[in-house]
Amino acid sequence: MALINLTRGILIEYGLSIPPLVLQFEFNPQTLSRTRSISIVTGNAPGTRGGYDFALPTETPRVAQGVTIEPEQFSMQILIDATDRMSDPSSPGHGPAVAFGIEPELDTLRSMVEPKTQGPGGVQMLSSLGLGGNKAFQRDEHPSVLLLVWGTHVLPVFLTSVQVEEVAHLPTLMPYRANVTLSFQVIESNNPFYQVEKIRQTAGAAINLASGVSVSFSASFGASF
């Protein structure tokens, strides 16, 4: 994890691809929107509005019948800007920035949302290239699995939406500054990255509890009965 920098975010494609897809960006957004929701379906159970009847904590599994937890989704706005690289001849990215601005970064994002197919030797490539094998299993198309790295988080995600607002261009009309809105869905499956995130989340909740944030159930129940 030598690539991790707390002032930057990184998107890395988790798979075999040509070329490897990696995007590093300055990450200090004004807002980061995270959404966790559930779907409730109680069917034709009599007297049910939003959940089954209950009286005791031991009945909670029955209360939650028909409830489905949706995967977490979130969106963020980032700025992709080549101005510093263009103005600093000693910068490693000076030459490409002067010639192409941020077009390579935007092309990387486009490639991350385009479907992939399995090519020769099992290597993944853009399915639109049409270079996959002739066998059916080699023609299967699938989205990129990405790792989103920022701060202490390493989340496996699908990139579900990319919105680009180009705000400055070179004389060649290549963009060199753009506001980009990215939307993600977390892959909440049995994978090592999500398992580590859940452990981190549990530890954070424990820190919150140890900080003295608690709920007095006896006081609440006393006020209710």
Output the pLDDT for position 30: 67
| pLDDT tens string 193-210 | 999 999 999 999 999 888
Q: How far apart are CA 75 and CA 163, in angstroms?
A: 11
Output the pLDDT for position 217: 47
In this prediction, the residues of the chain whose per-residue pLDDT falls under 70 are: 1-7, 18-19, 28-30, 42-50, 118-123, 125, 127-139, 212-225
Range of the domain at 13: 8-39+66-210
Output the pLDDT for position 198: 93
Q: How many domains does the chain have?
A: 1
| Helix locations, the chain, DSSP H | 60-63, 83-87, 94-100, 103-113, 192-210, 217-224
Residue 78 covered by a domain: yes
Question: What predicted TM-score, i.e. pTM, was given to this entire model?
Answer: 0.76
Residue 51 covered by a domain: no
| pLDDT tens string 122-157 | 667 676 666 555 555 555 778 889 999 988 889 999
Residue 174 covered by a domain: yes
